[in-house]
Amino acid sequence: MDEFMPRGAIMVEKTLAIIKPDAVKKKLAGKIIQRIEDEDFKISGLKMLHLTREEAEGFYIIHKDKHFYNSLTDFMSSGEIVIMVLEGENAISHWRKVMGATDPALAEPGTLRHAFGSSIEQNSTHGSDSPSTAEWEIDYFYK
Ligand code: CMP
């Protein structure tokens, strides 16, 4: 953050949001986008893609040593996804709050993952977890 930013200044951030293949297949993309607009995010980028296995592996490279990496990248390349850039005040933490916990079984009522996720992997949505990750993830899809 700029150290000369005035106290109380609004932190407008960008974050990368993905509607995952499980949610697109269940025809939930419209409901999720409506929720994004109801939460007052500005959608400044939006596209539908079907990732190759290699593109999914590249996107989740940070998890390459995790036991779920193969299954996750298989799933993320199994169907169409909707990729969005969301803008707003504290957009990164705001979007993570709207999604809820990674595991839908632990997500609070009212969150997207509680409503639409079916497993820790097929959890309907993705969001960046920090400003540096957001920058890297946005760049990955919007070079
Ligand atoms: P996402 O927010 O896209 O970030 C990494 C993804 O890995 C996560 O959501 C889940 O879909 C998946 N994931 C995280 N933990 C596990 C796990 N223990 N088993 C399977 N998939 C996981």
pLDDT tens digits, residue range 40-54? Answer: 999 999 999 999 999
How confident is the model at residue 2, as a pLDDT? 45
Dihedral angle over CA of 60, 62, 67, 68, nearest 10: -20
Pocket of ligand 1 (CB under 6 A): 68, 72, 102, 120-121, 123, 126
- Using CA atoms, how far apart are residues 3 and 88, in angstroms rounded to an integer? 20
- Using CA atoms, how far apart are residues 41 and 111, in angstroms rounded to an integer? 16
Q: Is the pLDDT reported for residue 26 higher than 70? A: yes
pLDDT tens by residue, 102-114: 999 999 999 999 9
CA of 38 to the centre of ligand 1 (A): 26
pLDDT tens by residue, 3-17: 556 666 678 999 999
Nearest residue (by CA) to ligand 1, atom 3, is: 126
- Nearest atom, ligand 1, residue 20 CA: 3
Domains of the chain: 12-141 (3.30.70.141)
Q: Which amino acid is at 82?
A: V
- 63 belongs to the catalytic site: no
